[in-house]
Structure 1
């Protein structure tokens, strides 16, 4: 049973100022998504499920479907505000999506195999997706406590020179399993490390060596029920917050603390490339050119 790649592509791109999921960065018009799909196919993934919004469906499909026809199976799932458990409704004034956990839950009926999650606007690298695929192959027969996983990158390699970024900051035990993961939503570059300045004026400094989640997670379908349970609890406790989001790192932290799952951190030799702000694009284009020069990618996919 080959794994599925779940691509989160419903983000609104408010900081970037455009539909960055399909913005070309390669020398022949390739997107970061194209490089991920290329790497995923080489790593053994044979199906892709895109989570998008109805409002970008036409543009997204027009740009994406012809690229992969005959190369890999494609399906779509839709993340909309009103996709809620029975008994819940969208609060008046709510405009933001419900977060990455909600995006994964939107694909519940489209996935029946072990799967890896990636962002549409990040490039994870061949080795990272190979490590994810290898881990998924080991998850076919789960014990009483399911094992999931994530690929971690050093924080300093994921920060932007043009503004703050959101990252799931991870701590691990001696066996390489996550002990905690906390979503920091406003990390700025500070020398070789990172810094978070909180609303109350408190500052948290990071060395830059800390492993962070770039949203490359490995799961089995068992996680959908766990997400739904956690999503209900999230909705109950954040009813008055119109901007609250339910993040995958928050789910992982809760599952670890309750003993309902464990997460293996997967090491990788891949370099991460991503665009948060439009000013990041030239750096990503340069990174792609270097990878092509090294033989990691052909000049035209």
Structure 2
């Protein structure tokens, strides 16, 4: 069983903590950044269309590189630039806004490009082969619909950085593994043997096996209608110049309004990421070991 499946990659971040454009930063000597391993895994799992949301700082040389790869490997590739006014808001004063509006806005930019079920990921996160295989199964067997989305989640202990606090969406599930809430926390870190985050100046400890969202969602294109309505609500709320419209918040609102249910599956794959520049060595060592185990070719595209 097979169907049209799209991978939507959010690659528009500015990489302020990483101090560079980590979404196109090559990890090994083959020059492939993390998102090329994601594309490779998705294609192997049966995905056949790749859409990448980028900002204007992405080098044209990298766009040409990936265009050449898509032609050689014969998969559909589309680029979308996320800009402040990508979703026009009549009468809105953009003068104080310095950057686009966040992940919810980024996904909405793909409204006219995606008409099929799709997976949304971050460009700078490595999710592992199993995540895409699970997602492909959910789409192919029509488990993703107007009323049911999906999420691949990871135990929080496996998603921390040794170089500083990280932002994670803490998941609360019902007895059938449907999402009740996803609570975005920006200060999750390990202190001695405890995993904590700080809220209202109070440290809160969480269990190492607590599932967290790493922005690996499986969506039906119906989400675009709700996203558009919610984005205009967000603008009408008079957000501050730095405030962002996040995809987990939009999904949470759809759950609260009983528009959808989100089935959460725990990934058996290892998650890896590069929040900070010093995280790069970890992912480099990991991918080197994966290549030695013949899970990836030394050059991803040969």
Fold conserved between structures, TM > 0.5? yes
Are the structure 2 counterparts of residues 155 and 140 from structure 1 closer, same or farther at C-alpha, using a change threshold of 3 Å? closer
Deviations 1:85-119 (A, max 9, x none): 54352443221321111000001111111100111
**Structure 1 portions without partners, runs of 5+:** none
Instruction: Identify the match of residue 89 of structure 1 among 66, 87, 92.
Output: 92
User: 2:83 touches 2:100 (CA, 8 Å); kept in 1?
Assistant: yes
Name the counterpart of 1:215: 215
Name the counterpart of 1:178: 179
Are 1:108 and 2:132 counterparts? no
TM-score (norm 2): 0.92
Are 1:117 and 2:120 counterparts? yes
Q: Report the alpha carbon displacement of residue 274 of structure 1 after superposing the two structures with TM.
A: 0.9
User: 2:83 touches 2:99 (CA, 8 Å); kept in 1?
Assistant: no
Are 1:195 and 2:196 counterparts? yes
After the TM superposition, which parts of structure 1 deviate over 4 Å for at least 4 consecutive aligned residues?
Answer: none
Are the structure 2 counterparts of residues 29 and 265 from structure 1 closer, same or farther at C-alpha, using a change threshold of 3 Å? same
Are the structure 2 counterparts of residues 46 and 228 from structure 1 closer, same or farther at C-alpha, using a change threshold of 3 Å? same
Q: Report the alpha carbon displacement of residue 193 of structure 1 after superposing the two structures with TM.
A: 4.4
Deviations 1:120-178 (A, max 9, x none): 11111110111111112233783xx6100110001111111111211111111111110
Name the counterpart of 2:257: 258
User: 1:151 touches 1:213 (CA, 8 Å); kept in 2?
Assistant: yes
Q: Report the alpha carbon displacement of residue 208 of structure 1 after superposing the two structures with TM.
A: 2.2
Bigger shift: 287-296 or 242-251? 287-296
User: 2:116 touches 2:221 (CA, 8 Å); kept in 1?
Assistant: yes
Name the counterpart of 1:274: 273
Q: Report the alpha carbon displacement of residue 266 of structure 1 after superposing the two structures with TM.
A: 1.8
Instruction: Identify the match of residue 39 of structure 2 among 28, 37, 40.
Output: 37
Name the counterpart of 1:67: 69
**Structure 2 portions without partners, runs of 5+:** none
CA-based RMSD of the aligned residues comes to 1.8
User: 1:3 touches 1:115 (CA, 8 Å); kept in 2?
Assistant: yes
Name the counterpart of 2:155: 154
Deviations 1:27-66 (A, max 9, x none): 4222211111110011000110010113426244134222
TM-score (norm 1): 0.93
